[in-house]
Amino acid sequence: MDTSLIVPGVIFGLSIGSIYFLMAIGLSLCFGLMRIISLDQLLYYSVGAYITYSVNLHTGSFWLGVLAAVAAGAAVSLAIERIVFRRIYERDLTFSMITSFGVLLGGVGIIKFFWGLVPRPVPVPISEQMSIFGTEIPIYRLIVILVAIAVYIAIWLFLNRTIIGKAIRAGIENVEHVEGLGINVARLFTITFLIAGTLSALAGALHAPLIMVDPHMGLEVLAFVFMVVIIGGLGSIKGTLISSIIVGQVVSLGSLIYAPLAQMAPFAIMLLILLVKPTGLFGSVLLKR
C-alpha cells in the first residue's frame, strides 16, 4: 500500500466512522432505555439527506438544508414514536425490530413517491483542502469529524449533567427503579427517541455531499450500522463511538489494501469480538423490561 494514501485513508475512515456514529447512537440509546431495535433510524437518515438536497436546491444554502433536515428528522421521529412505538414498547424485542423494519420499508416507498428513483447529487459546501503531513485533505471531511466529536461531548454532558439525562441513564440500568421514583418514563422514552431521530437525520444531511442521495441509502448502510452497535455493545455510548472508529478505519484502510476487505473485514472483526465478549466491547447483560 502506498504510504501517501495512509493519511487520506485515515481521515476518510474517521469521517465515515463519524457518520456511522451519528446513526448508531440512536439505535444504541433506544435499545438501552426502551429495549427496542429501532431500524427506522435509517429512515430518518434518508429523510435528512433528501431534505438537505431539496433545501439546497431551492435556496443554494447547504447549511440551511442541514437545519431543515434536523427539524424534519425530529418531526418525523416524534410522529412515528407517538403513532407506532408508544403502542409496542411492552412487546418482545423481535416484534419491535420487525415493526421498525416495516416502518423503514414504508418510508422508502414514500421517499420514492416524492423524489423518484434517480439518485440526486448534493454539492460539497466547502471545496477547500488542508495540507496534513504533505497530503491535501478536504476540509469538509474534517468538519464532519468535528461535528461527531461535538455531538459525543454534548450527549455525554446531557446524560451526566442534566436531570433528564441522569434519569435516562438510570432507566438504562433499571427502568423499574426509575418508575418507582415517580418519573414519567413515557416522557423519557419520547425524549430519547426524539434525540435518536434528530441525530440520524443529521447523519444523513452531513453524508449527502459525500454520496449520491437515493431512496435505498438507509438500507445500504444497515449492515455497517448494525455492526457498529453490536461491536460497541448495545446501550453503550462510549462503545458506539469506539466501534464506529474501528469500523470506519477497517472499511477505509481495508479498501486500500484489497477492495473486498472493505465489506468482509468488519464482519470478521464483529464475529471475533462476539466470540470473546458476547455483549460487545462495552455492552451490559440484556435485562427484561
DSSP one-letter code for 137: E
Q: Tell me what pLDDT residue 140 has.
A: 94
Domain boundaries, the chain: 3-276
Class of domain 3-276: mainly alpha
Q: Measured between alpha carbons, how far is residue 36 from residues 3, 62, 101, 153, 212 in Å?
A: 43, 33, 12, 24, 30
Strand blocks (E) in 120-179: 120-121, 129-132, 135-138
- Checking 88-95 for CB contacts under 8 A at 24+ apart, the result is 88/36, 89/34, 89/36, 89/189, 89/289, 90/289, 93/35, 93/36, 93/37
DSSP-derived secondary structure for 149-164? HHHHHHHHHHHHHSHH
Q: Tell me what pLDDT residue 289 has.
A: 45
Whether the predicted pLDDT of 1 surpasses 80: no
For residue range 115-172, list pLDDT tens digits in order: 999 999 999 999 898 888 778 889 999 999 999 999 999 998 988 888 887 877 777 6
Q: Tell me what pLDDT residue 172 has.
A: 64
Q: Tell me what pLDDT residue 284 has.
A: 59
Q: Which helix (H) or strand (E) holds 80?
A: helix 62-83
Q: Tell me what pLDDT residue 12 has.
A: 92
Distance CA 165, CA 169 (A): 6
For residue range 234-285, list pLDDT tens digits in order: 777 888 999 999 999 988 887 777 777 777 888 888 888 888 888 788 865 5
Q: What mean pLDDT comes out for the span 30-59?
A: 91
